[in-house]
Amino acid sequence: MVLERRGDNIRYHPRFVELQAHYHFAAHPCRIRAGHEKGRVERAIRYVRDSFFAARPFTTLSDLNRQALIWRDSVANTRRHPDEDSRSVADIFAEEQARLMPLPVNRFDSQLLVTVKASKTIYIRFDLNDYSIPPHAVGRQLTVAASESRVRILDGSSEIASHRRCYDRRQMILDPEHQAQLLAQKRKASGSVRGTRLASEVPQSEAFLDVALQRGHSAALQTAHLVKLLDLFGRNELRIAITEALERNTPDASSVSYILNRRWRQNARKPPPQVDLSRRPELQAINVHPHNPEVYDDLVRNDDSK
């Protein structure tokens, strides 16, 4: 709250000045390294920490607020007032409340504003979580406006995304519309002659590329790899391999290549057909004597090597 202080001259943070004006109160900061001036405030914080927060489980911010209100009414407000032991905190507050100014109609806008730079993906990082943005905003300077329940992303003064705020860590919060826009954009960029040929000869490749793009694979590289496999193995084999890759949940051209090579090896190693010697039974008793392999060397040896 205090940006700079020289004796009694204090420069407050502009947002704190707005807060004072909104709720009509004046601040009296303690002096630096004068902890004895705020002993009562520190004791109140310790009371809340020890009486309410100690070993208290909660799942969400709403759940925490609900429990805090119950604790306030049933525990904190029913205790004896520290200055008047004969009355409770609730009694003193009821007497004091008539002398207080009413709260403003509108709450103070306490959103946290943070400037972020969108990288090469459709996500921006805020508070150790990743929130999605529309593809057209990738690479731009954006502003995050975070409240206790929402995370809004602004491009200038225009809101381009809004998400429920997540208080976990390393989570990806995705708006399906942003993903759909990205897929359409990438499919359009990869809609070359090769992509058109692949789609016409192997219709299964359309669904395959959709899933691959959702996993973050490059549409152009996946298409180019599949076209090479189409030239090597043919449309029928590629259709079978793509279908199997989708069933195995491995939407990657390298997985399709592995399946195709495995099928090729299996087909190439089929056992030779049985020879029917029922009409020539004497051939079953033939004993062939192998020759010395060095004999074949004489067939390629010329006169100069002798």
pLDDT at site 72 = 96
In the block, tokens 């004046």 appear at 26
Q: Cα–Cα distance between 113 and 55 in angstroms, integer?
A: 32
For 176, 177, 216, the CA distances from 183, given in Å and listed in that order, are 11, 10, 10
Q: What are phi and psi of 263, to 5 degrees?
A: -65, -40
pTM: 0.50
The predicted pLDDT at position 209 comes to 86
- How many angstroms separate the CA atoms of 254 and 159, rounded? 40
Residue in this structure with the two tokens 């359409």, named with its chain if needed: 184
Nearest of 208, 203, 194 to residue 244 by alpha carbon: 208
Q: Are strands 141-146 and 172-173 parallel, antiparallel or unpaired?
A: unpaired
User: What pLDDT score does 114 carry?
Assistant: 94
Q: What is the pLDDT of residue 274?
A: 66
DSSP β-ladder status, 123-126 and 129-132: antiparallel
Give first-to-last CA distance, the chain, whole Å: 101
Q: Which long-range contacts (CB under 8 A, 24 or more apart) does 106-109 make?
A: 108/18, 108/19, 108/22, 108/23
Tens of pLDDT, residue by residue, the chain (306 residues): 889 888 888 999 998 999 999 999 999 888 877 777 777 778 889 999 999 999 999 988 889 999 999 999 999 999 999 888 899 999 999 999 989 999 999 989 889 999 999 988 899 999 999 999 999 999 999 999 999 899 999 999 899 999 999 989 999 999 999 988 887 777 666 555 456 788 888 998 888 988 887 787 877 888 889 988 998 898 899 999 999 999 999 999 999 999 999 998 888 755 556 677 777 777 777 777 777 777 777 776 665 554
Cα distances (Å, whole numbers) of residue 88 to 33, 44, 52, 91 = 33, 16, 18, 5
Query: 3-state DSSP call for residue 254?
Result: helix
Residue 255, Cα to own-chain centre: how many angstroms?
A: 24
DSSP three-state, residue 186: helix
CA 224 to chain centre: 27
**What are the angstrom distances between the C-alpha of 196 and each of 190, 201, 274?**
9, 9, 46
Task: Give the span between the Cα atoms of 178 and 122, in whole angstroms.
Answer: 8
Tell me the C-alpha distance between 242 and 248, whole Å: 10
pLDDT for 302:
62
The token pair that represents 193 in the structure block? 């002659």
- Tens of pLDDT, residue by residue over 105-134, are 998 988 999 999 998 889 999 999 999 999
List the structure tokens of 233.
């193995």
